[in-house]
A and B are shown apart, each in its own frame.
Chain A
Amino acid sequence: MTAAHRSAWRPVILLVLAALAVLYLFPFAWMISTSLKPTRELYTQPPTLWPVHPSLEAYTGALIGARDWVLLRNSVVVCLTTVALALTLALLIAYPLTRLPVPPALRRGLLSWLLSLRFLPSLVVVIPIFATMRAVGLYDRLLALICIYSAFSLPFAVWMLKGFLAEVPPEVEEAALVDGANRWRAFFQILLPMLSPGLLAAGVITFALAWSEFLYALILTATPRSQTFSIGVWSFVTEFEIIWNQMAATGVISALVPVALLLLARRYVVSALTFGAVREKS
């Protein structure tokens, strides 16, 4: 490819990219714009592109009026517990896999089984899980969601932590062991601090995935006692008379949390979504 060839295409590509940027940001802008409109402005024809009288009416209406702050609280509780549980379990699996003499066949089998869970369609397990949860009395309880989310974020948490653990040379711990620390101390005082960026990234991504989950939340909950925020967003869609600005406001809150979190952990997003197959440098 010659330099002239490249320069001929460059403006076209940049134009396409600019158009894509508009295409990708416009839906967000329109949702935010809608969420800031007072109710009477919703019915002006044609709709105003940007609110003439911006107000937070929709947010207070959705969170306090429709009591969606309860669902917001549920979501935070579920996600935080899920992160704690999933990371603890993932460490319990990933640490022995990378640090102790494990037969390679077992190691590979376990990892690929975990990977296969990623492809298990949730619609398949949702029915027996629903029946089981009802039988053991966890239906419509936060605990049911916590268990499910922890179990299903475990595979990729293990894969991610495995990657981070492999980056810490075993010599570091061995040195601590030689200096008289036992395995527990070496783990907590040496390895864990070195692992903290990885734990943070895995935690953030687990949180965001649990936050976005919808199907299990829809099936395993019935009342605001255990419904998560995703359900709150959805219930605006199914109401008889849709309140556009409140629906948009819940959409904004629902999108804001994972977007903000994952911009923090942006280096790990693609790697996490592909189980570490793809690593980027930036």
Chain B
Amino acid sequence: MLFLLTVVVYPLVYAVNLSLQYYRLGGFAGLHNFAFAFQDSLLAASLRATALYVAITVSAEVLLGLALAVAVQRTVRSVAGRTLTYLLFIVPMVTPPVAAGVMFRLMYIPEYGILNVLLHNAGYQGRPILWMSSPAMAMFSVVSVDVWQWMPFAFLVLFAGLQAVPLDVVEAAAVDGAGGWARFRAIDLPYLKPLLLLVLVFRVTDTLRVFDHVQVLTMGGPGAATEFLSLYLYKIAFKFSNLNYASALAIYVVIIVSIVFAVTSRYLSEELA
């Protein structure tokens, strides 16, 4: 316990202390660093990019995972088929993000990437696509890795949830003439609601702090198109060595995450306990 306190609580106190001092000069700065955040246009750009990333990634992951879970639940009945699906989707989740970044770099990179070659063979005649060096495509590339890696998480959790739907309810509904969509709306969805919330909380908090595969794939570029909050903080703290301003930003993040956590944790711990 003491160990946890030293590793977790002490750094937070330290960060507060850092955030209240001037960069380089030292000395008490009051809320200077906190106020500066509101004039920082790079921060605003980074926040917009992060919000876009979270919104696209999480909705793609949850919707695809949900659709797939329902589809597999209804069509794949054999144990072997289900085990195979399970194994297929476990693998990307346990792949280190750095390795996933390398994998997709090898596919997207202009000089060596296989993707443009495949597109060309499939009849695409236009200019080679710059997967990582045009802003829109770079965003697409980093999103694609996240969705590739974590859509399976949504799928596996929701699929496990669907196993808890009692069969007699489903059969009774079928007797009453409920179609596939009605069954989903009236039976599956209510059962999945708590798990959907859980997946959302996990994925939103994880995508908000995304770092690893972006650092490997685009390093925040081109320009600042994929410079998400964590990459921006990393740059301020360790490239520009401005630990004071970075700490102030970090404390903002703690406050926001704590609020989100406080709001959702009541529901979440009911699920978990």
Out of B3, B74, B86, B161, name the residue touching A278 (CB < 8 Å): B161
Docked CA distance A275–B265 (Å):
13
| Pair A123/B230 contact, Cβ less than 8 Å | yes
Cβ contact of B157, chosen from A148, A234, A252, A274, cutoff 8 A: A274
Q: Identify which of residues 1-27 in chain B touch chain A, using a CB-to-CB cut-off of 8 Å.
A: 1, 3-4, 7-8, 10-12, 14-15, 18
Given A30-B107, A121-B253, A244-B106: A211 and B96 interface contact (C-beta under 8 Å)? yes
Contact across chains for A214 and B230 when beta carbons are under 8 A apart: no
Collect the chain A residues with CB atoms within 8 Å of residue B163's CB.
280-281
Chain A residues near B87: list those with CB within 8 A.
263, 266
Given contacts A27-B103, A151-B7, contact A277 B257 (CB under 8 A): no
Please determine whether A214 and B98 come into contact, CB atoms closer than 8 angstroms: yes
Contact, CB under 8 Å: B102 / A31: yes
Q: Count B-side interface residues using an 8 Å CB cutoff.
A: 92
Q: B106 contacts A115, CB within 8 Å? A: no
| Complex Cα spacing A190 to B208, Å | 44
The contact of A124 among B76, B174, B253, by CB within 8 Å, is: B253
Query: Do A123 and B250 contact each other (CB < 8 Å), given the known contacts A116-B265, A128-B11, A262-B90?
Result: yes
Specify the chain B residue showing the minimal Cβ separation from A214: B212
CA of A250 to CA of B12 in the docked complex: distance in angstroms?
A: 35
The listed residue with most B CB atoms (<10 A of its CB), out of A5, A27, A123, A238, is A123
Shortest distance from the beta carbon of B122 to any chain A beta carbon, whole Å: 13
Q: Which of A71-90 contact B (CB under 8 A)?
A: 89
Encode A246-276 as 1/0 by CB contact (under 8 A) with B: 0110111011001101110010011001111
Q: Cβ of A5 and Cβ of B72 under 8 Å apart?
A: no
In terms of DSSP, what is the predominant structure of the interface of chain A?
helix
* Chain A, 209-238, CB within 8 A of any chain B CB: 211-212, 214-215, 218-219, 230, 233-234, 236-238
User: In whole angstroms, how far apart are the Cα atoms of A129 and B243 in the complex?
Assistant: 11
B62 within 8 A of A: no
The segment out of A14-22, A51-59, A172-180, A192-200 that lies at the interface is A14-22
Residues of B within 8 A of A1 (CB): 74, 174, 178-180, 183
Instruction: List the B side residues contacting A30 at CB < 8 Å.
Output: 103, 106-107, 114
B104 pairs with A27, CB closer than 8 A: yes
A20-B88, A126-B237, A127-B237 are known contacts; what are 20 more A-B pairs with Cβ within 8 Å?
A1-B179, A16-B68, A30-B114, A46-B117, A121-B257, A124-B250, A127-B247, A218-B215, A219-B234, A234-B98, A255-B95, A255-B103, A258-B95, A259-B94, A269-B94, A270-B160, A274-B157, A277-B271, A280-B86, A280-B156
Can you show 26 pairs from A to B with CB atoms below 8 A apart? A9-B71, A13-B75, A16-B71, A17-B85, A23-B148, A30-B107, A31-B102, A108-B269, A115-B272, A116-B261, A122-B209, A123-B250, A129-B11, A132-B10, A215-B234, A230-B98, A234-B215, A244-B106, A254-B102, A255-B95, A255-B100, A258-B96, A259-B91, A262-B94, A274-B272, A280-B160
Q: Would you call B83 an interface residue if the criterion is a C-beta within 8 Å of the partner chain's C-beta atoms?
A: yes
A residues touching B (Cβ–Cβ < 8 Å)? Answer: 1, 5-6, 9-10, 13-14, 16-17, 20-21, 23-25, 27-28, 30-31, 34, 42, 46-47, 49, 89, 93, 108, 111-112, 115-117, 119-132, 147-148, 150-151, 154, 208, 211-212, 214-215, 218-219, 230, 233-234, 236-238, 244, 247-248, 250-252, 254-255, 258-259, 261-263, 266, 269-270, 273-282
B130 within 8 A of A: no
**Bound form: Cα–Cα A218–B99 in Å:** 15
CB distance from B143 to the nearest CB of A (A): 15
Segment 150-170 of B: residues with Cβ below 8 Å from A: 153, 156-157, 160-161, 163
Binding site for A on B (CB under 8 A): 1, 3-4, 7-8, 10-12, 14-15, 18, 68, 71-72, 74-76, 79, 82-83, 85-107, 112, 114, 117, 120, 148, 153, 156-157, 160-161, 163, 174, 178-180, 183, 195, 198, 201-202, 205, 208-209, 211-212, 215-216, 219, 229-230, 233-234, 237-238, 243, 246-247, 250-251, 253-254, 257, 261, 265, 268-269, 271-273
Question: In the complex the two chains form, is B234's CB within 8 Å of A123's CB?
Answer: yes
- Taking a contact as CB atoms under 8 Å apart, the answer to whether B250 and A276 are in contact is no
Q: Measured between alpha carbons, how far is A67 from B76 in the docked complex, in Å?
A: 47
